[in-house]
Structure 1
Amino acid sequence: MKRDRRNRHAVLLAMLAGLLLLAASAVQARPLVVWNATASTPVGLWHVLPAASRKHLRVGDYVLFWPDRRSARLFARRGYLPRGVPLLKRVAAVAGQTVCERDREVSIDDRAIARALPVDGRGRRLAAWSGCGRLPNGEIFVL
């Protein structure tokens, strides 16, 4: 009787351990503290909290994200940011807002907020975009 109970407990413990290992492998670790060395956001240590979803982000919040592969290659090739390093940017617009760029002037909801530079710090041309778009649910615009 005691042996059956011990076997049952051992099986339950093994199953629990397996579930915990499975759950731990599904969770991606993210840094809790990051060092920002770029000029676009204040230099220094930043404490990063996970966002429940993009729905909870507001204009003025800062977000930490990894650029897509194509952008990461460009950033590394031009010396903007090493590969594997996340970006820290301020949320400038959220879902429902309209973002435009005309003649290098960036506006949000018809209010000018920035000028897009034609070249980077080394004089290399930067991509230009012209037009307007309303941000759909789940999207943000960062500067």
Structure 2
Amino acid sequence: MSHLQFRPAERGDTGLILRFIRALAEYEHMEDQVVATEELLEEGLFDKRAAQVVFAVEDGREIGFALYFHNFSTFLGRPGIYLEDLFVWPECRGRGYGKALLAYLAALAKREGCGRLEWWCLDWNRPSIDFYKSLDARPMDEWTVYRLTGRTLDKLAEEAL
């Protein structure tokens, strides 16, 4: 890991970002839910700047990525960083790259005056849960995630018209 570097994604990286997203979805058994395209990623990440991506790079090869965006804590009165995706190629796992990506984001959060770094993890993903707990990350068991998508999102949005 002595040659590990980090680099922000550039517009020309959308194909690589999509490959990471698809590999993560496969790992999470959610391949059928990926509808993102290179065009959608380019628009969301580079035109609208809705999120950012950083790559972990070793010897010129992108071996991991993190996709994140800023949120805001009203209780803290400060922004935070929400980690949407973190993925390291399977053959590169166990070498500290995931931890290095999280440390990079933690340092970014501190530099930007953020009050927290947070993410979700699937309940069945024991290797990741154990890894996060080894960092002293605290699960937020008292919270339940709610989501509107597709028709349910459309239905509620129509009530605003």
Give me the TM-score of the superposition, normalised by structure 2: 0.26
More helix by share: 2
Higher Rg of the two aligned structures: 1
